[in-house]
Structure 1
Amino acid sequence: MTHAVRALALLLMTAGLAAGQATKTITYETKVETLTVQAIESKSRTLTLKRTDGTFLTTVAPAGMKRFDEVKVGDKVTARYYENLVVRVKPAGEKAIDTASAATVSSEGQHPGGTAAVQRAITATVTAIDRKASTITVVGPNDWKYSSRVEDKKALEKVKVGDRLDMIWTDALLIALDSAK
């Protein structure tokens, strides 16, 4: 539930759901990172990638990546990561949501690559607010519980125990590989 954790924290730090404003969209900054393929395990489709700071990342290429066999050690990988969050104060009596979907699309370009996207939607209920400490606690599906410090005290003032929030976030990762020169 790391996405939900980020979603809740950012929601309450920046959303400031004002009276009459029942929906808020938060678009995060797109992150771009260039990595270098260090190792490839073909059978498990595992790639070991080296970041510019010298640290390593291991990831598994999805089955939908049709041109995996074209990836070579030394290839440069440009990864763009995009997040979007839509938060809605849920009207009383409306049914809770708990859904997830994912999709991958392979690149048709000269080099292997593609896009993977995940969308998750949940309803969480505000169960506690400590205005003095500027914290909030919510409970979501499967009794998932999360507490967070809220930086935006004005936003915290507009939420009360018992409020239900629909949180729908979308994560997309766009990968492009350029063959080593």
Structure 2
Amino acid sequence: MKRMSLAVLSCLAISASAYSADPVTDMSVTRNASGATVQGVAKVTATIVGIDPATRTVTLKAASGKVIELEVTKEARNFDQLKIGDVVNAQYRESLTLSLLDKKTQASAAESETEQRSPQGAKPGGEVGREVTIIADVVAVDKHTKTVTLRGPKGGMVDLHVEDPERLKRVKKGDQVKAVYTEAFAISVEPAATK
């Protein structure tokens, strides 16, 4: 059995997927004329098999039989609503969209964060997420290695591998790329099934 402390219950999504032997994952790639989006979702479901109110500890059991003991801090509201047999669903989503820009603009970076918690008196749960948008300059294109080198707003460089030769043909030094990265952790608790 593993034991860990979490800042908020929504971090369970990270822990459960890291410790569970059977997360369900789904990946997809969508392409359009100006770019592409890669999306991934990992889901983990576990059942509450133990609750210690004195230490705010919850013991979860995944379908694989893996047992995880979590210490839930006071920031996670509605702890008293948890019951043995409740089902915890954790989901991690992330996506990256890259697209060529039509007109030149200033290289930039912006980040926004979201947070939502269950209302008072409901089962615990919520979602935290962030979105990062970067405008970067194309400083090199190597058709032999199929890489595009980007320079971000703070001067950092990154090489991207472009598998599709038709897309690589459209990119040239001096172009700009917009990258939007999003990630979110969501957790919900469902009441135990009645028999």
Distance 1:70 1:110, change over 3 A: closer
Out of 180, 184, 190, the position equivalent to 1:172 is 184
The amino acid of 1:151's aligned partner reads: E
The amino acid of 2:165's aligned partner reads: K
Find the counterpart in structure 2 of residue 9 from structure 1: none
Q: Which runs of 5+ in 2 are unaligned?
A: 1-28
Q: Matches of residues 29-178 of structure 1 in structure 2 within 5 Å? A: 29-35=40-46, 63=75, 65-67=76-78, 76-108=87-119, 110-178=122-190
The Cα offsets for residues 102-148 of structure 1, whole Å up to 9 and x where unpaired, read as 11100237421101120111111112221112122212132222113
The amino acid of 2:147's aligned partner reads: T
Q: Is the 8 A contact 1:14 1:152 kept in 2?
A: no
Distance across 2 between alignment mates of 1:67 and 1:77: 14
The Cα offsets for residues 45-83 of structure 1, whole Å up to 9 and x where unpaired, read as 999988766598x999795x4335766899753122233
Q: Is the 8 A contact 1:126 1:138 kept in 2?
A: yes
Distance 1:143 1:158, change over 3 A: same
Distance 1:130 1:178, change over 3 A: same
Q: How far off is 1:33 after superposition? A: 1.9
Distance across 1 between alignment mates of 2:67 and 2:36: 33
Q: Normalization by structure 2: what TM-score?
A: 0.59
Distance across 1 between alignment mates of 2:173 and 2:57: 45
The Cα offsets for residues 4-39 of structure 1, whole Å up to 9 and x where unpaired, read as xxxxxxxxx864x64xx4xx4626243322256899
Larger of the two Rg values belongs to structure: 2
Identity of aligned residues (%): 31
Higher relative contact order (CA 8 A, sep 6+): 1
The count of aligned residue pairs is: 161
Distance 1:147 1:49, change over 3 A: farther
The amino acid of 2:179's aligned partner reads: M
Partner-residue secondary structure (3-state), 2:88: strand
Partner-residue secondary structure (3-state), 1:156: helix
Partner-residue secondary structure (3-state), 1:141: coil
